[in-house]
């Protein structure tokens, strides 16, 4: 017995025939909302009801944990043994270098050239953003 031929919709839209069969183009963009999804069960009904934000917040407030249950708020640990990562003051990328004149951290030579053009107030502003500014009295 021969297998049944399935009539499936094409994923990329309707076929537009121009001339011969070898010249097949698809019209329109891919629309996943209307595409045939064979993996979805059409008879499925969702039994869960959505909760609004107010309900979620009240449920969180009602939950009370015992003091011996670890949560993110009460975990205490020793400081890390690894050295702290240093980030570029200009770009925020990981800094490999430090300018000896200004004390600014930088990522590469291009940023170093930019640091060379900065004035003293700008350098102090960048250093102040990471609480490393020198306060002159």
Q: Please check whether residue 124 is in contact with residue 134, taking contact to mean a CB–CB distance below 8 angstroms.
A: yes
Helix spans in the chain (H)? 53-62, 109-116, 120-129
pLDDT value, residue 64: 74
Q: Are 100 and 92 in contact (CB under 8 A)?
A: no
Neighbour tally for 12: CB within 10 Å:
14
Least confident of 9-23, 33-47, 62-76, 77-91: 9-23
Question: Which residue shows structure tokens 């004035």?
Answer: 119
Tokens of 55: 């309900």
Full-model pTM: 0.45
Structure tokens at 116: 């060379």
Residue 65 falls within a domain, yes or no? no
For residues 22-48, average pLDDT: 76
Between 87 and 63, where is the model more confident? 87
Of the two residues 108 and 10, the one the predictor is more confident about is 108
Q: Which two tokens stand for residue 47?
A: 């039994």
Residue 65's CB: how many other CB atoms inside 10 A?
10
- Domain that residue 132 falls in: 83-137
Query: CA–CA separation, 137 vs 130, rounded Å?
Result: 20
**Which tens digits make up the pLDDT trace of 83-124?**
999 999 999 999 999 999 999 999 999 999 999 999 999 999
What is the length of the chain? 137
Q: What percent of the chain has pLDDT over 90?
A: 41
Residue 132 lies in a domain: yes
Residue 46 domain flag: no
50 belongs to a structural domain: no
Which pLDDT score, from 0 to 100, does residue 132 have? 86
Token duo for residue 104:
């600014």
Residue 87 forms part of a structural domain: yes
Tally of structural domains, the chain: 1
């Amino acid at each position: 017995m021969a297998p049944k031929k399935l009539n499936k919709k094409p994923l990329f839209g309707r076929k537009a025939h121009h001339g011969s069969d070898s010249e097949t183009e698809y019209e329109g963009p891919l629309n996943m909302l209307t595409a045939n999804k064979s993996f979805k069960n059409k008879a499925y009904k969702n039994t869960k009801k959505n909760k609004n934000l107010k309900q979620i917040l009240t449920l969180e407030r009602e939950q009370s944990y015992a003091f011996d249950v670890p949560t993110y708020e009460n975990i205490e640990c020793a400081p890390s043994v690894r050295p702290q990562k240093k980030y570029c003051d200009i770009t925020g990328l990981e800094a490999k270098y430090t300018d000896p004149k200004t004390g600014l951290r930088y990522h590469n030579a291009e940023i170093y050239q930019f640091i060379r053009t900065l004035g003293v107030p700008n350098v102090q502003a960048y250093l102040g953003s990471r609480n490393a500014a020198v306060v002159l009295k």
